[in-house]
Amino acid sequence: MVFMKIIDAHSHIDYITHKFQDDVVGTVCCTTKESEWNKLVELMGRDKNIYGAFGIHPWFIDTVKDGWEKRLECLLKTNRDYMVGEIGLDKYKPDISKQIDVFQKQFDMAIRLHRTVFLHCVGAWDKILHVLKQYKQSDLPIIVLHDFNANNEVLAQLLLYKNMYFSFGKNVLYGRFRRIEEIPMDKILVESDSDKNIILKDIIDKTSKNESVIYNNTLKVLHNE
Ligand SMILES: [Zn+2]
């Protein structure tokens, strides 16, 4: 028997109550707003194969209430394994300046507390790269680029960061990102993003074709190594 194990590197609360696909032994669950934080803590208490990332997604910045940063920091400090996500920037959603503010606060927090970050970026790589350049590379946390897609120029810059992981889902499956061979094997993760039509084995076939390498990459991210 060949050893087969997959950890889904990106899903959401609605999805993890469903049965895992064959070979899927765990999932990273990202919150999108504060009202999901406690639910995720509860789900993690029931299933040790759920790995939690806590934060405010750029689509939901209008849900933030006074004091959210303090509450997020307190929550993260209750458990060393809690990660930060889903955070980031989306050019096609409202109020990019507030998005940057909410993103930057969470990113700073992740750096301060040494937590892995799950990053959402659509059409805003210039701004993300600008934020990254404000830090010394050695200070940056592990960053997982969710459903990765970017042009060659951006990819070249991102590859300079050794803590960067590329998580592949829809964009690879549907042929929107085709330069997989440029990504080092030890930086590849796979994800469903809560889409039940995404079969993680199909994504593995389109990426490294090596399930155990991807599994070990995911463990490194989860253990913050
Ligand atoms: Zn997501």
Q: Where are the alpha helices (DSSP H) in the chain?
A: 13-16, 37-46, 68-77, 96-113, 125-132, 152-158, 170-173, 200-206, 211-222
Cα-to-centroid distance, 154 and ligand 1 (Å): 21
Q: Domain 6-222, what fold? A: TIM Barrel (3.20.20)
pLDDT grade for 189, boundaries at 50, 70 and 90: very high
Could you tell me the pTM of the whole model?
0.95
Q: Are 148 and 170 in contact (CB under 8 A)?
A: no
pLDDT (average), residues 108-134: 97
pLDDT grade for 17, boundaries at 50, 70 and 90: low
Cα-to-centroid distance, 14 and ligand 1 (Å): 11
Cα-to-centroid distance, 90 and ligand 1 (Å): 12
Amino acid at 99: Q
Cα-to-centroid distance, 11 and ligand 1 (Å): 6
Cα-to-centroid distance, 180 and ligand 1 (Å): 21
